[in-house]
Chain A
Amino acid sequence: MDGDLAESGRRSEQEASQMTKFTSAFAAGMLAVVAMTSTAALAATPKDTLVIATTIDDIVSLDPAEAFEFSGGDLLQNTYDRLVEFDPKNLGAGYQPGLATSWTVSADGRTFTLTMREGVKFQSGNPFTAEDAAFSLRRAVLLEKTPSFILTQFGFTKDNVNETIKATDDRTLVIVTDKKYAQSFVLNCLSATIGSIVDWKVAMEHEKDGDMGYEWLKTNTAGTGAYALRSWKPNESYVLEANADYWRAKPAMKRVFIRHVSESASQRLQLEKGDIDIARNLSPEDIAAVSGNGDLKVAEDLRGRIMYMSLNMKKAPLDNPKVVEAFKWAIDYKGMTDTILRGQYTVHQAFLPLTYLGELKEQPYSLDIAKAKALLAEAGLADGVSVTINHRNEPQVMAVAQAIQGTLTQAGIKVELAAMTGKQSLGEYRAREHDIYLGAWGPDYPDPHTNADTFAHNPNNADEAKLTGKLAWRNAWDIPEMTKATAAAVEEADTEKRAEMYRSIQREHQRTSPFVILFQKIEQTGLRKGVEGLVTGSAISSVYYWTVTK
């Protein structure tokens, strides 16, 4: 396209001066813009305001009956209360009185009578009563959204819910389960997001076609929580305003601004500048920079996500216990958390995440190639084995897969890696067609049964049973004894005894299961130095803002 320029011959003074004029006018203009805008930058956020950069694009719904994502949990944790709740200052203490001050359980272990707290008001000004509690729990069952199973597993159905969840007076809620369950199991489930108590008058004011306010509550909140939702812009930001009458304490942060910033470097820059107080999605490199900055600090918290590898018991020779054990010794757990997973995962070898009731800290396995080789030789496979590991095509999982491939190869196990989309890998996994699956599992509610039910419970190992929700079934692991033990743990009334039962199940699981539990997720948060009291909720809960001061 470039043509030749006819030799212009002469260029007048005028032209040259025109160019200079243009250049200087442009430079002056740019300077003016810069001068005008540079004054607008603020130095730090106000004392009573918290500004947080995080990702909120996973939020699908703000209705507690439907929300099932991390960011949604964070929002609802602060805008609603539940009947029983964890104490953010002592999460390890287990469930504590929330909107219910006390409870009794009948002799047969099926009837829970909960006494409601007095003097609590919803953000609308309506007083909180047992009717609200009954409405909220029934509503969650009736709406049948994804997390409803957390409640329906106690036998509540559309047909019986008016009888089984009932307010007998303003202060008393009675819940009747279909059979005996551990008190801790029922109460832990009530502490999940789905147990959030909704202002039934407000919800019903917005009812449309019998939806119990569902359409409206998808984008609004109506709770008793420490904060009310002031504005909500999906994928962009939301603003929380403190509830001055909050029954626990007066939140020090009057307003909390949550902004969607997906890029770690952008979050870090804003944190360094003091435009935000908290950055929740910093990459390991940015975390390193933040920890080296005197004005900033890094907080670390455990999350519920577990990374694991599992061997399909339908595939020989993987069904040989010696081979399974060889795999467990042929993985460099610590090597990975020191390098590719640094600051993101910690070594963890039991199926319950740490901070759960019944957590098990023991780590019996470490990299020992000689031992792995010896075990393979004992299994008659001294010449080696060939396997395929299915995993998702996500960078982190792929890095782990490659590291595992490296050490397994040293032990004489030839590994082919099959990176797949989520749908593909899940499809094969659920159809029990994989050799080995490498992936992650996150607990659904803050009770040990959530993971025990999937990792250590398989009532029918037949293909036709199609228990695709259970990882034990997906790996064709037939465990009548452990299934019984897991079922018994769910019914144990004595909480300490129950915790011990889970520890013993996990020890047995560590020893014999085809699951190689690898890591537990860590969350690292960057904060301005003055920010105190932020609790991100560990594995069992979500973030709390009312405890924050600065």
Chain B
Amino acid sequence: MMKNKLLIFLAAAVLLLVLPSVAQYAGNFWVRIIDFALLYVLLALGLNIVVGYAGLLDLGYIAFYAVGAYMFGLLASPHLSETFPAIRALFPGGLHTPLWVVIPLGAAIAGMFGVLLGAPTLKLRGDYLAIVTLGFGEIIRVFLNNLDAPVNITNGPKGLLQIDSLKLPFVGFDFGKNGELFGLPVSSVTKYYFLFLAVVVVSVVICYRLERSRIGRAWMAIREDETAAKAMGINTRNMKLLAFGMGATFGGVSGVLFSTFQNFISPESFALQESVMVVAMVVLGGIGHIPGVILGALLLAALPEVLRWVSGELDLQMLTGGRLDAAILRQLLIALAMIAIMLARPRGLWPSPEHGKAAPTPAT
């Protein structure tokens, strides 16, 4: 059994390492899709802490993604120094905060936002919590959209442009440029692939350890029965805040990675639909179960892109007289998948094995 597991691990590792070089031959476009899928995996893992472990339904999760993305965007793009002369005087070469400062900072600030959001919602449960978090998400988006006046902070709906790509200091390694390794070309997206993969692997380890730790067990106790958890001496307030904070940290880091990868961000990327999508990934895959969550994220992030390519090849727009195009088809399929998968497997595609017994029955 142990040996089998090790083999599977090794096979997966080899597969993950060669995957980008294979995909690169088919075109950088495919590697890009995989990169985005990895970002979604990161988001889904973070939300899984809040929704899956602690059982707090958060519909505004994308707000933390936005916080991370905008923080990096502001600290590593010409926007701030162009708008404020004081900042230009301080940094004549423009603001180029290195990623190694920004990732911890992004994690910390997003985590702080998570706790801030968590604090007023502690008393709320279930659906009230869902709608309040949804409201928070919208509030952040509306502010991002409108904070270009009276002082231009976020540049409004136009978004932030020319965000730095990622560079390793001292060795002169630039993730934004194509390079080569042992004479083989390595494109920029492939470099990002390995970075994202590393972050995802670290996150999986963190989540795995959390799940089995005292904290993880406390979260699950709160999820199953908050009153009982309290009676067992769990500080439910602090634990819930910790769940919000931890989840938000993941969101913040993936936001930072997103903005450096994309080099451009605008409030559009952080709409409610994205939050819904991440919730769907977690629930479709198998709530509270790491492999399931990863599967859900990959499915919902990558499959539609594949379909987009297929429909492009078929020239669907011509076939249907402009009514159906790739983007519409993608939405349609995501919607159908959300309904069909839930109907066929209400506990998700790959649910955690022991959760079934403890699933709460509705108190009717």
Specify whether A and B are partners. no
